[in-house]
Amino acid sequence: MSNQIKVHVIHTGKVIVDKALPFHHSTDRPLAWTGFLRPKSDLISVPVSAYLIEHPKGLILIDTGWNKVNQTKWGQIRNLSFQYPVNKADLRASETIDCQLAKLGYQTSDIDYVLMSHLHCDHADGLRLVKDAKQILVSEEEWHAGRTDHFHYLPHEWKGVKMGTFAYQETGEGPHQRSFDLFGDGSIREVWVPGHSVGLSATIIQSYNTSQYMLLAADVGYAAKSWKEGLTPGVVINRQEAANSLNWVKRKSQESNNIATLANHDPEVKPGIITL
């Protein structure tokens, strides 16, 4: 059996938001990220990514993108509810995660693990499309937030989905020295990077063959310019924690054996395959 790891970068449509939502500046007025009383010229469209990892020990999906109900305006209004004015989906039928997996030759039931970076709508909305995956996991911290914080989360997005949790361990890795090792061999590690959300996870994918690795930074920063320019997201639970997590990503991105650091919503990142 080959010990090669392949990572498919997938775009599951786009999200339309005020430019203050992905990139916070100290000069932004409070709640600028909502777009309230701001011109349409401040709206931007950015990709919504998911990642399929073909791993020797199983097929792993990171995040799920938009649900197919978002193909119409009224479908979005019903589905996204009070969050619709803040983030709107731009989605074609062929872009949903189940369709994207089919293009790669997989059924959703082939997925061994779905690992959720966090449960905000543009990451968790596709959970119902992959509910027959063998295991669906999110951090304990994020699962608690998803069930109790009714402002940042839409719990109907995982209604009828069997959700499991993982616990971060004291590993010395990440801004809080805590991470979760999926297989116990260091090849897939979920690192606790709070700030944007309480239980946000970044994913480190480590090569079996060399010291090389790649980092999926989730929403620690919305694009590479986030850590290059020190721009935390507009939506945060804790601004200082978000900055600490962003600084950690920046340091990791500069390591010589890091072959790629990808933000979930970076327009500069194109769909493709990265091999480790």
Confidence of residue 98 (pLDDT cuts 50, 70, 90): very high
Residue 102 lies in a domain: yes
Confidence of residue 225 (pLDDT cuts 50, 70, 90): very high
Q: What is the mean pLDDT of residues 188-205?
A: 99
Residue 1 lies in a domain: no
Q: Please tell me the predicted confidence (pLDDT) of residue 39.
A: 83
DSSP, residue by residue, the chain: -----EEEEEEEEEEEEETTTTS--TTSPTTGGGTTT--GGGEEEEEEEEEEEEETTEEEEE-----GGGGSHHHHHHHHGGGTTT-EEE--GGGSHHHHHHHTT--GGG-SEEE-S--SHHHHTTGGGSTTSSEEEEEHHHHHHHHH-TTT--GGGGTT---EEE--EE-S-TTTTEEEESSSSSSEEEEE--SSSTT-EEEEEE-SSSS-EEEEEETSSSSHHHHHHT---SS-S-HHHHHHHHHHHHHHHTSTTEEEEEETT-TT--SEEEE-
pLDDT exceeds cutoff 70 at 1: no
Where residue 245 falls (left for φ over 0; alpha for ψ -120 to 50; beta otherwise) is alpha
Structural domain for 214, as ranges = 6-275
Confidence of residue 230 (pLDDT cuts 50, 70, 90): very high
Per-residue pLDDT tens digits for 104-153: 999 999 999 999 999 999 999 999 999 999 999 999 999 999 999 999 99
Confidence of residue 101 (pLDDT cuts 50, 70, 90): very high
pLDDT exceeds cutoff 90 at 176: yes
Confidence of residue 36 (pLDDT cuts 50, 70, 90): confident
Percent of the chain with pLDDT over 90: 93
Q: Is the distance from CB of 171 to CB of 163 less than 8 angstroms?
A: no
Residue 212 lies in a domain: yes
Residue 263 lies in a domain: yes
Q: Please tell me the predicted confidence (pLDDT) of residue 169.
A: 98
Q: What is the mean pLDDT of residues 47-61?
A: 98
Residue 122 lies in a domain: yes
Per-residue pLDDT tens digits for 65-89: 999 999 999 999 999 999 999 999 9
Number of domains in the chain: 1
Query: Can you give the CATH number for the domain in which 131 is found?
Result: 3.60.15.10
Residue 249 lies in a domain: yes
Q: Please tell me the predicted confidence (pLDDT) of residue 17.
A: 96
Confidence of residue 2 (pLDDT cuts 50, 70, 90): confident
